[in-house]
A and B are shown apart, each in its own frame.
Chain A
Amino acid sequence: MAMGGVQAVEPGQHAPAIDLPGPAAQVNLSQLQGKLVYLDFWASWCGPCRQSFPWMNEMQAKYGTRGLQVVGVNLDNKTEDATKFLAQVPARFAVGFDPQGDTARRYQLKGMPSSVLIGPDGKVIQVHIGFQADQRQALETVIVAALPAAR
């Protein structure tokens, strides 16, 4: 793996570290080893991100007990924009604030929203860009196949 974040994150690579403050608690990726992590990068100005929230809540509710942890990394420059967004669109999963965009740089995001599925071993399983209603089923299938309890 290349140093720094010049290269995009690809499946099979070790997921770059994430340690961010959140509205509920600190979000630390290394503490989530052993869980299947659905890492989602979002911002308040991004329309598809808004659409993805109900689905991510559903995934967390459905598969949380089987070892899934949804983590939303907010990339708004102003955290109050994110707080306002969260008041309208509740997130029932872990949220971290990254106003500087350091994690986005580390993951070399190509679009918004971007999601990275990280296996229990901390390695990237899938990188997905965008969120469209007809892709939900395919995303869920990949999540279910990678659940730690299902192995």
Chain B
Amino acid sequence: MKHMGTSALLVLVLGGCSAMAPPQAWEKGALAKPEMSMGGDALEQRNAQHVYASKENASGGAGVGGGGCGCN
């Protein structure tokens, strides 16, 4: 019986966020808030972007193109 309860809970948890309705077009203002950003604050994001671009310059980094020496 105990296992039944555990598996029932597991089934509920497995669904995760898929049970929630996606935000409607007019509710997307909540996603535009700074705290919804995947990164940290603006400075940290800029630093991370700079490091990424310099490491990945041969393959184009976050932009298109690339080229260069091909070394990492």
Number of interchain pairs (Cβ within 8 Å):
30
Q: Which listed residue (B24, B25, B29) contacts A76, Cβ 8 A?
A: B29
What count of chain B residues pass the 8 Å CB interface test?
A: 8
- Give CA–CA (A112, B25) in the complex, Å: 6
- Give CA–CA (A109, B23) in the complex, Å: 12
B25–A45 contact, CB under 8 A? no
Q: Does B32 contact A (CB under 8 A)?
A: yes
Q: Which listed residue (B26, B27, B28, B30) contacts A41, Cβ 8 A?
A: B26
A109–B26 contact, CB under 8 A? yes
Interface size class of A (residues with CB under 8 A): 10 to 19
Main secondary structure of the interface of A (DSSP, over half): loop
Contact residues of B with A, CB < 8 Å?
24-30, 32
Q: Shortest beta-carbon distance, B25 to chain A, in Å?
A: 5
Q: Shortest beta-carbon distance, B37 to chain A, in Å?
A: 14
- Give CA–CA (A43, B30) in the complex, Å: 11
Q: Which chain A residue shows the least CB distance to B31? A: A45
A-B contact pairs, 22 of them (CB 8 A): A41-B26, A43-B26, A43-B29, A44-B29, A45-B32, A46-B29, A75-B29, A76-B29, A77-B29, A77-B30, A81-B29, A101-B27, A104-B24, A104-B25, A104-B26, A105-B24, A109-B24, A109-B26, A111-B25, A112-B25, A112-B28, A114-B25
B residues near A101, Cβ cutoff 8 Å: 24, 26-27
Q: By CB atoms of chain A within 10 A, which of B24, B25, B32 has the most?
A: B25
User: What per-residue 1/0 map shows which CB atoms of A89-127 lie under 8 Å from chain B?
Assistant: 000000000000100110001111010000000000000
